[in-house]
Amino acid sequence: MWASGLLLSLLSLWPPSRAQSPAPLFQVVTQTMLPPDPVHNPTQLNYGMAVTDVDGDGDLDVVVAGYNGPNLVLKYDRAQGRLVNIAVADSDSPYYALRDVAGNAIGVTACDVDGDGREEIYFLNTNNAYSGTATYSDKLFKWRNGRFEDLLSDKLNVDRGVANQMAGRSVACVDRKGTGRYSIYVANYARGNVGPHALLEMDEAASNLAEGVVALSNVAAEAGVNRLTGGRGVVVGPILSESRSDVFCDNEHGPNFLFKNSGNGDGTFVDVARQAGVGDSYQHGRGVALADFNGDGKTDIVYGNWNGPHRLYLQTGDSKFRNIATGGFAAPSPIRTVIAADFDNDKELEVFFNNIAYREQAPNRVFRVSRRVGADPLIQELNVGDAKEPQGRGTGGTVTDLDGDGRLELLLAHGESLRQPISVFKVTQGSSNNFLRVIPRTQFGSFARGAKVTAFTGQSGALTRIIDGGSGYLCEMEPVAHFGLGSDEVKVLQVSWPDGSTSTRPLRPEEMNSVVEVPYPAEGEVSVLSNDTQVHRICTYGGLPQSSVSSRVYIPELTPLDTVLSMKRTQRERMHGTPQHPHTMRTDKNIAADIKKATAKARHLPKVLSSHLLNQSSTPECAFISAERARRPCKALVREPSGAVLLGMKVQQVSWNMEHTPPFSASKKSRATLFWYAMREVAESCS
């Protein structure tokens, strides 16, 4: 049977995590890939790092904030097999202005501010000011007139007084309205009432893009983020919102901020950190990253506190967070950057802690966070290998695949009290594992920072990545969703953009182990919703505890009230059908009849849906689209070529949830019975 065969394959999902391997994870390759020298890897104080395509050739480059020396732009030269600095001391170079030797930069980020399809580069300069006012303004470089030029130095913007001249730390990019044009979020470090957080963006009415004129405004007050605090780390992505970009800031000498996007398209935010349980008022935040650690499709937060307990917050079903950091993971350290990535391509995420040896040795550490069914992820410390750097003055770090082998390289910057060159590390494990790298694009063709990418695999469930507009500490990660897959393969790929647009398509076998670019959907391909609350209503299965896989079904906005009530009756029936109530156990025959009734109720659905749900005659790809992912109404789904397949995969996922979630996991119901239950849920949620 189609149902039984598919469900049998689900038994292998997410096996228990392997024991810690004594083999080192990282090997230093600095001498071959970026040997220290005055031009390409000067021994100086370096801080933040960002990954973007600086020269527009399609390859990713690494921008480094230089503090007592020039900023660097590191490009991988394939012919030489090494990184070279293209921002050289030659005034004729188009990248010369990026050096900005007088700037003393600390933070850096890149995004498309004006919608021309090319990312601008923002440097946060502090000039030895710890807090309050600095003596030198930040820089925002745009490719214009065949070279990079500073927009904040344009007379128009000087007259507008928008250049940030505060001592800040991290900077990040946020598409707050979902337009594809990004704002620059600046986490300033206030002194008293001087130095609130800033939010710079293009003033469209005052700009003339045809003439290269970009007028900038500080809209922090309008957006609701002009707060005074000791700003440190910033991450941007769909944290609490389904697709809109939210902002999380971990702070020093004050509670953290979690700015939830209003979702109505006006780009305003409300701080919900206290209600969400991530205020952490008495610690001093530093590096931070976003990831889905337990595979439930929700965005989790990991961050380090300066010489305080580090946090790994899992998001629960009620828009709150729960810290699961174990003793070793939480152990205090002088932490700077935090990176979450699948370094060895084994399907499980690693978390890298970059420390600074400012008083004594402070080795870097790395942990694997492995998903488990029905339990919190397993956290194991790994052998960090050469990346231990016990004497390293760690200040920043990032990851990207420089040489195109499908494995991430790790780059670490050093500074603050001791000049040290940049270090580069390769991963020693997972060379034979499959991978997929996904680059979503905005409506203007630039990198879609803030997008969420979900890969539905044949064996491992759904893997979710956030293309963070910030991340790390003083840094910005690559604009790529990197998936390690082990021996698995991706069957279906889904991308959600900050405006609510989505794109779902099957992945061809030949696209595995490659870089896949996903363009912004053409008009008419999907509906663009301006308000997250218009997308769906959520019906949570009553009485079922949170699973490691989502157990939610989205009910389209136009769902009749009687169908919602029917869903609630279904919940009660299912709760009664447990070992505690054997006299009400339902038979397969009863459930089959219920399915027919539920499907008949959905009279507005095309015939293809009913036949797919009841007939099971066409076998879909063995992939598992979560019900939480297929957000569009069923009528929209079935108009797509793969619509019936997507709905069928929803049935598979709901069935798997039931099989692995109490009380059903203890009821020993047959898989066929659970499959029928799942069919009814999907049919009713679509009616």
Residue 630 has pLDDT above 80, yes or no: no
pLDDT bucket at 166, cuts 50 / 70 / 90 = low
Rounded Cα gap, residues 111 and 450, in angstroms = 11
Model pLDDT for residues 172-197, shown as the tens digit of each residue: 999 999 999 999 998 877 666 656 88
How many CB atoms sit inside 10 A of residue 534's CB?
A: 12
What pLDDT sits at residue 137? 85
Higher model confidence: residue 429 or residue 542?
A: 429
Residue 18 has pLDDT above 70, yes or no: no
Confidence band for 612, pLDDT divided at 50, 70 and 90:
very low
Record the pTM.
0.77
Q: Which band of pLDDT confidence, cut at 50, 70 and 90, is reported for residue 131? A: low
Contact (Cβ atoms closer than 8 angstroms) between residue 617 and residue 634 = no
Average pLDDT over residues 271-291: 87
CA–CA dist 389, 540 (Å, integer): 47
State the average pLDDT over residues 45-53.
96
Q: What are the residues whose beta carbons fall under 8 Å from the beta carbon of 200, sequence distance 6 or more?
A: 140, 162, 164, 183, 184, 186, 216, 217, 218, 219
Task: Identify the pLDDT of residue 590.
Answer: 53
Give the pLDDT confidence score for residue 549 in this predicted structure. Answer: 28
- The model's confidence at residue 674, banded by pLDDT at 50, 70 and 90, is low
Band of the pLDDT at 252, cuts 50, 70, 90? confident
Q: How confident is the model at residue 283 (pLDDT cuts 50, 70, 90)?
A: confident
**Percentage of the chain with pLDDT > 70?**
70
Q: Which is more confident, 563 or 517?
A: 517
Whether residue 306 is predicted with pLDDT greater than 60 in this model: the reply is yes
Q: Give CA angle at 327 (326, 330), nearest 5°.
A: 80
Read off the amino acid at residue 523. Answer: E
In terms of DSSP bridges, do strands 515-518 and 230-237 run parallel, antiparallel, or are they unpaired?
A: unpaired
Question: What are the chain's domains?
Answer: 29-440 (2.130.10.10), 536-687 (no CATH)
Looking at 514-603, list the stretches that DSSP marks H as alpha helix, in order from N- to C-terminal side: 532-535, 561-576, 588-601
Structure confidence at residue 79 as a pLDDT band (50, 70, 90): very high
Query: What is the band of 57 on the pLDDT scale with cuts at 50, 70, 90?
Result: very high
Give yes or no for residue 243 having a pLDDT over 90. yes
Tokens of 584: 């009400």
pLDDT at position 41 is: 97
Output the DSSP codes for 304-364.
EEBTS--EEEEE-TTS-EEE---HHHH--B-EEEEEEE-TT-SSSEEEEEEEB-SSS----
Instruction: State residue 42's pLDDT score.
Output: 96
Check whether 370 has a pLDDT greater than 60.
Answer: yes
| Region 388-392 average pLDDT | 90
pLDDT grade, residue 597 (50/70/90)? low
Phi and psi at 307, nearest 5°, equal: 50, 30
User: In what helix (H) or strand (E) does residue 248 lie, and over which residues does it extend?
Assistant: strand 246-252
Tell me the mean pLDDT in the region 289-302: 94
Mean pLDDT of the chain, nearest integer? 78
Residue pair 463/295 in contact by the 8 Å Cβ criterion = yes
Report pLDDT digits (tens) over 528-575. Answer: 323 332 222 222 222 222 222 232 222 222 222 233 233 333 433 443
pLDDT number for residue 459: 86
Q: Helices 671-685 and 607-615 meet at what angle, rounded to 10?
A: 170
Least confident of 124-133, 229-238, 418-427, 569-578: 569-578
348-351 long-range contacts (CB < 8 A, ≥24 apart) are 348/17, 348/484, 349/291, 349/293, 350/25, 350/382, 351/289, 351/302, 351/312
- Label residue 653 by pLDDT band (50, 70, 90): low
pLDDT at 87 over 50: yes
- Amino acid identity for residue 19 in this structure: A
Which residues is 246 bridged to in the sheet? 237
pLDDT value at 215 more than 90: yes
Whether 434 shows a pLDDT value over 90: the answer reads yes
Burial of 601 (0-12, 13-18, 19+ CB in 10 A): middle
CA distance 40 to 24: 28
pLDDT at 3 > cutoff 90: no
Tell me the average pLDDT across 409-434. 94
Q: 3-class DSSP state for residue 431?
A: coil
Is 499 in contact with 178 (CB distance < 8 Å)? yes
Mean pLDDT value of segment 78-90: 97
What per-residue confidence (pLDDT) applies to 602?
Answer: 39
pLDDT tens digits, 490-499: 999 999 999 9
Q: How confident is the model at residue 279 (pLDDT cuts 50, 70, 90)?
A: confident
426-449 burial by CB neighbour count: b if 16+ within 10 A, else e? Answer: bbbbbeebbbbbbbbbbbbbbbbb
Are 443 and 520 spatial neighbours (Cβ–Cβ below 8 Å)?
A: yes
Q: CB 363: neighbour CB atoms within 10 A?
A: 15
pLDDT for residue 654: 57
Higher pLDDT, 78 or 360: 78
CA-to-CA distance for 469 and 440, rounded, in angstroms? Answer: 13
- In this prediction, residue 359 carries a pLDDT of 78
- Peptide linkage before 70 cis (omega within 30 of 0): no
- Mean pLDDT of the region 404-422: 93
- Supply angle C-alpha 538, 541, 546, rounded to 5: 100
Strand partners, 633: none
Most confident of the following: 104-118, 152-166, 324-338, 630-644: 104-118
**Who's near 273: CB < 8 A, 6+ residues apart?**
248, 255, 256, 257, 258, 279
Which backbone phi and psi does 174 adopt, to 5 degrees?
A: -140, 125
Report which secondary-structure segment, H or E, holds 491: strand 490-496
pLDDT at 371: 92
Give the residue with greater pLDDT, 72 vs 19.
Answer: 72
DSSP 274-288: HHHT---TTS-EEEE
Q: Which pLDDT does position 535 carry in this prediction?
A: 26
Q: In percent, how much of the chain has pLDDT > 90?
A: 55
DSSP string, 72-108: EEEEEETTTTEEEE-S-S-TTSTTGGGG-GGG-EEEE
